[in-house]
């Protein structure tokens, strides 16, 4: 377009790039952009900036392309930094428009003027405040490309008067389209193919970067060709391999000692879509036993560049694995894989409290394979991995950054983007409190997600970590109190979200039998506030 305002030109960019859903919590500096929004652009309100970015992260991870968020100057961007960090580590392409005071008196640092460059640290993949108002549409278009290529949030800072500036038809400093060919030439991966072909006992480690239909198919074909076990990376944001496959070994231990034991006996370890390796807590010693060689395949430059591997391939994991499966000879034998222990536990005795494992087990018996499970229950994570395997791409999602407050916004964004798939969040009550504002958006926009809160009335993960630090159960006196008086069901209802309190196994079974069969067709959220006793042990 050659006439109109910068705002009009920016809207054309949003339409062209598919960013027609805007997640935001508006402030005064964003009014010139949002007031009188065209009807073909949808605004989704969240009640806190962490929820804004969390919902957009869920939307983007559902494969809808870059998601658009609008934040309010210093306060909005500052409130969203933790969620922006999560989006970066979760590889979610976001375009973040941050409002700024009127350009014409910024030199005087007026009220609401923000020192916005660097406020989000190094978590954005790109940040820009255009020199001229007329450069804003091009900056938004470039941010969409940067977010996709850099796999993370790209920030554009826009002074509020820029939107009404006349559009002069200036050249946009961004391409109309970016091609990212995924072809992999055989000669380029010949060294990796040779390494695997020579291996006597290889093993694969799958990561979030392989979580796509093409990634699952290629990695499955490669694993079956090699006849080897496949581990899931520790603290992964997503599952890179079907976790109900007979060659799935489980989630890799998060400490070096446990990892060495898990990978012992393998002469080649190939990490696919994952770095080498993520750990917590610190444990001294080498990553693998002497004599074990490490290779990595990832399309994330940062993952590749920091991985202490003998050989690294910076390319699309699905394309590389598909070619490797055709280049290497079939294994002469298939290694037996024990896999995760999925044995059932008995229900609680009459009068005994529910535990998280009882809830997870009943969910596992009922959830269909296409369910998206979002996890933010740190003290129960090991049981969730064991009992709720990801059976479809995007079947599992977690906050790889580790900060709380991700699941409730993400479950809303994901279900909004994928109305055909059941979406379930499994969240601790301590975690849920950090993102509770997202329930209002879920209720207001009639987002049919199920939120399962494992309510033990405390930060159980912190209690267990303190005990481990002090030498064993009961050895630590912690300064933080429990919070049994907090009612997540009451909080949910106050935001307009239906909620059910559950305290017995019989009630749990009855409620799940009633609601799970209709999860895919739900048109409103539901929170299950389930009272559980704290887990006695913690396995990172």
Residue 475 above 70 pLDDT?
Answer: no
Q: How far is CA 377 from CA 1, 166, 405, in A?
A: 49, 50, 11
| Average pLDDT value over all residues in the chain | 93
Residue 342 above 50 pLDDT?
Answer: yes
pLDDT tens, residue by residue, 438-466: 999 999 999 999 999 999 988 888 877 77
- Any idea which architecture 6-164 has in CATH? 3-Layer(aba) Sandwich (3.40)
Which residue in 160, 140, 144, 164 sits closest to 152, CA to CA? 144
CATH assignment of 186-327?
3.40.50.1220
pLDDT tens, residue by residue, 212-259: 999 999 999 999 999 999 999 999 999 999 999 999 999 999 999 999
Could you tell me the fold of the domain covering 356-531?
Rossmann fold (3.40.50)
Residues 6 or more apart whose Cβ sits within 8 Å of residue 116: 73, 74, 77, 98, 100, 129, 155, 157
Give ranges for CATH 3.40.50.1220 in the chain: 186-327
The reported pLDDT for the residue numbered 540 is 46
For the entire predicted model, the pTM comes to 0.91
The pair of three-digit structure tokens given for residue 503, joined into one six-digit string: 């305290």
Confidence of residue 474 (pLDDT cuts 50, 70, 90): low
Residues 6 or more apart whose Cβ sits within 8 Å of residue 475: 467
Mean pLDDT of the region 382-405? 94
Radius of gyration of the chain (CA): 24
Q: Measured between alpha carbons, how far is 212 from 223 in angstroms, rounded to an integer?
A: 16
Q: How far is CA 375 from CA 383, 404, 424, in A?
A: 11, 11, 9
Give ranges for CATH 3.40.50.970 in the chain: 6-164, 356-531
The reported pLDDT for the residue numbered 2 is 55
The reported pLDDT for the residue numbered 402 is 83
Which residue in 290, 315, 291 sits closest to 304, CA to CA? 315
Residues 6 or more apart whose Cβ sits within 8 Å of residue 404: 376, 430, 431, 434, 435
The pair of three-digit structure tokens given for residue 459, joined into one six-digit string: 């930060």
Confidence of residue 538 (pLDDT cuts 50, 70, 90): very low
Cβ contact 89:81 at 8 Å: no
Q: Measured between alpha carbons, how far is 201 from 195 in angstroms, rounded to an integer?
A: 11
């Amino acid at each position: 377009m050659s006439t109109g305002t910068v705002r009009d030109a920016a809207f054309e960019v949003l339409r062209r790039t598919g960013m027609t859903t805007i997640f935001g919590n508006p402030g005064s500096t964003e009014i010139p952009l949002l007031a009188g929004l065209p009807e073909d652009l949808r605004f989704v309100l969240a009640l806190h900036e962490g929820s804004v970015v969390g919902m957009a992260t869920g939307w983007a991870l559902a494969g809808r392309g870059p998601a658009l968020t609008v934040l309010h100057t210093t306060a909005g961007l500052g409130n969203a930094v933790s969620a922006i960090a999560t989006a970066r580590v979760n590889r979610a392409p976001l375009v973040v428009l941050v409002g700024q005071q009127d350009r014409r008196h910024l030199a005087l640092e007026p009220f609401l003027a923000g020192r916005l460059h660097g406020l989000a640290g190094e978590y954005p993949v790109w940040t820009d405040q255009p020199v001229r108002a007329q450069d804003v549409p091009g900056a938004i278009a470039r941010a969409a490309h940067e977010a996709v290529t850099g796999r993370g949030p790209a920030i554009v800072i826009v002074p509020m008067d820029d939107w009404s500036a006349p559009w002069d038809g200036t050249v946009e400093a961004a391409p109309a389209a970016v091609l990212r060919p995924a072809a992999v030439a055989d000669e380029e991966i010949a060294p990796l193919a040779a390494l695997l072909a020579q291996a006597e006992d290889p093993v694969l480690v799958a990561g979030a970067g392989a979580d796509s239909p093409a990634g699952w198919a290629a990695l499955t074909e490669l694993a079956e060709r090699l006849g080897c076990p496949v581990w899931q990376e520790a603290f992964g944001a997503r599952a890179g391999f079907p976790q109900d496959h007979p060659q799935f070994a489980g989630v890799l231990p998060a400490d070096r000692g446990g990892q060495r034991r898990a990978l012992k006996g393998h002469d080649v370890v190939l990490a696919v879509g994952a770095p080498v390796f993520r750990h917590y807590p610190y444990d001294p010693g080498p990553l693998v036993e002497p004599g074990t060689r490490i290779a990595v395949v990832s399309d994330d430059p940062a993952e590749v560049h920091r991985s202490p591997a003998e050989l690294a391939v910076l390319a699309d994991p699905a394309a590389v694995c598909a070619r490797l499966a055709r280049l290497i000879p079939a294994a002469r034998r298939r290694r037996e894989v024990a896999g995760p222990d999925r044995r059932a536990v008995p229900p609680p005795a009459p009068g005994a409290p529910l535990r998280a494992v009882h809830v997870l087990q009943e969910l596992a018996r009922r959830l269909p394979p296409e369910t998206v499970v979002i996890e933010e229950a740190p003290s129960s994570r090991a049981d969730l991995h064991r009992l709720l395997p990801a059976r479809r791409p995007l079947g599992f999602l977690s906050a790889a950054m580790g900060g709380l407050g991700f699941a409730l916004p993400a479950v809303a964004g994901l279900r909004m983007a994928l109305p055909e798939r059941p979406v379930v969040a499994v969240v601790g009550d301590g975690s849920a409190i950090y993102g509770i504002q997202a329930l209002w958006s879920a209720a207001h926009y009639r987002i049919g997600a199920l939120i399962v809160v494992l309510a033990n009335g405390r930060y159980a993960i912190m209690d267990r970590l303190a005990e481990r630090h002090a030498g064993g159960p009961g050895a630590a006196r912690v300064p933080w109190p429990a919070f049994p008086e907090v009612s997540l069901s009451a909080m949910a209802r106050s935001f307009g979200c239906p909620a059910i309190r559950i305290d017995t196994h019989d009630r749990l079974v009855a409620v799940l039998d009633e609601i799970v069969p209709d999860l895919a067709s739900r048109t409103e959220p539901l929170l299950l506030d389930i009272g559980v006793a704290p887990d006695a042990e913690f396995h990172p």
